Every structure is written in C-alpha cells, then in structure tokens.
Amino acid sequence: MSTRNQTPTNRESLTKPSASAQPIKDTAQFTSPTNPLLEEITLGPYQLTNRIVMPPMTRSRASQPGDIANTMMATYYGQRSSAGLIVSEGTQISPMGKGYAWTPGIYTKAQIEGWRLVTNAVHANHGVIFAQLWHVGRVTHSDNIGGQSPISASALAANKVQVFVDDGQNQPGFVDVSFPRAMTINDIAKVVAEFKQAALNAIDAGFDGIELHAANGYLINQFIDSEANHRTDQYGGSLKNRLRFLDEVVSAVADAIGAKRVGVRLAPLTTLNGTVDATPEQTYTAVATMLNQHKVAYIHIAEADWDDAPPMSNAFKQTLRDAYHGVMIYAGKYNLKRALDALNNGFADMIAFGRPFIANPDLPLRIEQNQPWATHDPQTLFGGNEQGFTDYPAYEQLQGRSDVNSAQ
C-alpha cells in the first residue's frame, strides 16, 4: 500500500494535543485604517495582495518512504494562502541535502507530484507560493543521508549541533551531527547543478518561484561565513571567493527560471548551527550588492530571534537597503508595531510572521480586523499528524459565526 499521502505511525508518540483548543491570547498591538501591511506590492511578475509573508518553517510531516509532500501539507498551506507570499518549508534538493527526518524533497518525480498537491491548493485560493531550496551541508547525520559523510565548504564540524533522525527502529530522536568532508571542485559543480534542477522541478510542481536557503548555517552559509570556510582555493579565503558558490548557484537558478522568480534568504547575525562570520556587515553588504547585480526578486533577512540575540542596527539595515534595490523581506519575532516601524522606516517592503502563522491560518484577516492572535503549541511543531498542524481554526470558526467584522 502506498504511503504517499499517509503520515508514518512512528511519529504519533511525538505529538500532544494541539493549541487550537487553548484560549486565544491578544497579541495584536497596532491597527490603522491605512495599514501598509495590507497594501499590494509587485514581486517579480506577481502582484501580491498584501505585504504579509508566511516564511519557511520546517514541520517534518512529509510522507514516508520518499520524503513526499502530501494532502495534509496541501491543506496546511491552502489554509494560509491569504498571505501575500508563502515560502514553503525547506525542501532538500538531493538525498545528500537532507538534515532532518521527515522533511520533504524536490528531486524525484513522486516528490514533484506531491508538491503539486500543495501548489494547487494555494493557487485555488489565489495565493502565491515559492519553494525554499535547501541543502544542509554539514548540518546532518549519516543516518539521514544513506550512511555517507556530510559535505561542507571545509572539513570542520558544527560544534554542539544536533539533528533529528529516524533510525528505522521506531525510536526517532536527536543526535550529534556527523563530521563532514570538504567538498571537491567536482562536488561543488554537482551541487550547483542540483540547485538548478531543483528550481526547474519547483516550477514543474507549480511553484511560482524559489527561495535559496543561504542562512542559518546550512551549506551556502557555510561557504559565505568566514569561520566555517577555511578553503584555500577559489571558493575560500577572500570575501569574493567565499561568495563565489552563492554567485554560481544564483546564476544557475536564474538562468533556469528567471531571476525575477528567485529570492535569497540570509541571516547576517545568526550563530545557528555553528556558523559565524567575523565581519558580518562587510560580508552581507557585499552579498546584497551581488544579489542586486543578479536582479533577484527579493532578499529575505532572518534576524536573530532568541532572547538575548544581537539586534541588527538601523544603520546596517539602511546599508543593506542602499546596496540592494529589490523587495526586502524581514523576519524574526515581528509583532505589528515592529512590522509597521520597519515598513514606515523604509528598511522593509514585506514582513514575515513565522510562529503567528502556525496558529493563525487567517493571519492577514486578523490583522485587517484587529482580531486577537492565537498562540501555537510548541509540542506539535515537528512530526505528527493533523494535531497542531491543520486543526488551528480561523477566527471566524472560533466564534462560530460568519460575521468576522463584528468579532472584535
């Protein structure tokens, strides 16, 4: 019996009752009759209905075997298609690109067909969705990549980093990452080609474009950031050399599907997964300048969002804005006040709300109507079934009536 649209039973133990039955918490902090979040915006060839982004969020619910997107995922994304832009959860471009159990891929025919269920659901509601293309590099364990050694810019371990594995014995859990080997020149050329093919596959699956995951310590980031890249060839050493891999990947996918259907996610100040840059403002200003030359559709900045994280200064944000002239998206624990400040200050054109979209599938309407936001259940973020995934109600459903305009 095919498992293409089923959820593996070994995930059930990871789930707890979802937050959908919990009292909602009012986190709405600002409303305006001319809320810029609700204004239309042009993104590449698309006219988006608002400036609200659902960013990529790993949920680990792909069908097994095969890491295939399924009908449950189609329901999840379809419920949230009122976002101006949806960026899918990270989807690995190859078997070697997989970092965590039960994450979807986009390199087989079955995976492409699975994602088509998702894009059809979003388009049925007049939404726009990009696929985030993902290669984790060294942030994985051999069990996730068929027993092979991970690959990275250099043979340097990601210290104190763990990933989620399914050992096939019904005992999934977190383990330390495996030690990587440095990529050869042939390896690099192969991965560039895999990114290009993944972009073509995404368009075949019905996605409107793609986002390259160049943030959070994954493979592209491992080439960019100085402390993860100790190469002495044309892909390491100088800043120009450290950006060469990203430059080649962007060129490849832009040639394949058009630069206006390409976005890039960056995280200049993050230390996630052990990747750190010694001079982030210099490095990421150069990245923004390069991406401006490629004329990609957007840059998606993930600000560090843990409690004591270093803030991005307004001066740094202005420097990035000056270097890159396309659409700028910011993410990282944004509430309405911060979002509107970023838009009004000109640093951002769109704002991504991650966690709020999990528990509020109708988030744009809640913003428009100044309705309270529900809080998500952290116990159901990864793995499992519909609980904590597709069972969060819209505010209209929560009230048991259709007149949402008078719900506040």
- The CATH number of the domain holding residue 14 is 3.20.20.70
Per-residue confidence (pLDDT) for residue 11, from 0 to 100: 38
Kindly state whether residue 153 falls inside one of the protein's structural domains: yes
Among candidates 127, 9, 21, which has minimal Cα distance to 74? 127
Per-residue confidence (pLDDT) for residue 400, from 0 to 100: 56
Per-residue confidence (pLDDT) for residue 33, from 0 to 100: 53
Per-residue confidence (pLDDT) for residue 311, from 0 to 100: 84
Per-residue confidence (pLDDT) for residue 130, from 0 to 100: 99
Q: Could you say which of 218, 235, 324, 330 is catalytic? A: 218
pLDDT averaged over every residue in the chain: 90
CA distances from 222 to 88, 225, 252 (A): 22, 6, 19
Per-residue confidence (pLDDT) for residue 377, from 0 to 100: 97
Per-residue confidence (pLDDT) for residue 37, from 0 to 100: 98
Task: Give the bridge partners for 384, in sequence order.
Answer: none
Per-residue pLDDT tens over the stretch 162-216:
999 997 776 678 999 999 999 999 999 999 999 999 999 999 999 999 999 999 9
Kindly state whether residue 23 falls inside one of the protein's structural domains: yes
* C-alpha to C-alpha distance for 280 and 87, rounded to whole angstroms: 25
Kindly state whether residue 67 falls inside one of the protein's structural domains: yes
Kindly state whether residue 323 falls inside one of the protein's structural domains: yes
The stretch 97-114 carries a mean pLDDT of 98
In the structure, what pLDDT confidence band is assigned to residue 305 with cuts at 50, 70 and 90? confident
Number of structural domains the chain divides into: 1
Kindly state whether residue 94 falls inside one of the protein's structural domains: yes
Among candidates 22, 320, 46, which has minimal Cα distance to 208? 46
Six-digit token string for 341: 């400040």
Per-residue confidence (pLDDT) for residue 107, from 0 to 100: 99
Kindly state whether residue 237 falls inside one of the protein's structural domains: yes
The stretch 393-404 carries a mean pLDDT of 70
Which structural domain range is residue 271 located in? 9-406
Q: What DSSP state is assigned to residue 346?
A: T
Per-residue pLDDT tens over the stretch 2-14:
333 333 333 333 3
Q: Which residues contact 87 (CB under 8 A, 6 or more apart)?
A: 53, 54, 55, 56, 129, 130, 131, 132, 211, 263, 265, 300, 352
Instruction: Indicate if the pLDDT at residue 407 is higher than 90.
Output: no
Angle at 176 between CA 181 and CA 174, to 5 degrees: 135
The stretch 354-376 carries a mean pLDDT of 97
Kindly state whether residue 368 falls inside one of the protein's structural domains: yes
Residue with more model confidence, 212 or 22: 212
Per-residue confidence (pLDDT) for residue 168, from 0 to 100: 76
218 is catalytic: yes
Kindly state whether residue 293 falls inside one of the protein's structural domains: yes
341 φ/ψ angles, rounded to the nearest 5 degrees? -60, -45
Residue ranges in 225-361 assigned as alpha helix (H): 239-242, 244-257, 280-294, 314-323, 336-344, 355-359
The CA-based dihedral angle spanning residues 46, 295, 208, 103, taken in that order and rounded to the nearest 10 degrees:
-140
The stretch 228-239 carries a mean pLDDT of 98
Angle at 64 between CA 164 and CA 9, to 5 degrees: 80
Per-residue pLDDT tens over the stretch 238-284:
999 999 999 999 999 999 999 999 999 999 998 889 888 999 999 99
Six-digit token string for 360: 């509020």
Per-residue pLDDT tens over the stretch 318-329:
999 999 999 999
Residue with more model confidence, 126 or 17: 126
User: Phi-psi category of 258—alpha, beta or left, where left has phi over 0 and alpha has psi -120 to 50?
Assistant: left
Among candidates 109, 105, 129, which has minimal Cα distance to 119? 129
Helices 109-124 and 71-79, packing angle to 10 deg:
30
Q: What DSSP state is assigned to residue 178?
A: P
Among candidates 269, 344, 277, 263, which has minimal Cα distance to 305? 269
Per-residue confidence (pLDDT) for residue 30, from 0 to 100: 45
Per-residue confidence (pLDDT) for residue 98, from 0 to 100: 99
In the structure, what pLDDT confidence band is assigned to residue 40 with cuts at 50, 70 and 90? very high
Per-residue pLDDT tens over the stretch 380-395:
999 999 999 999 999 9
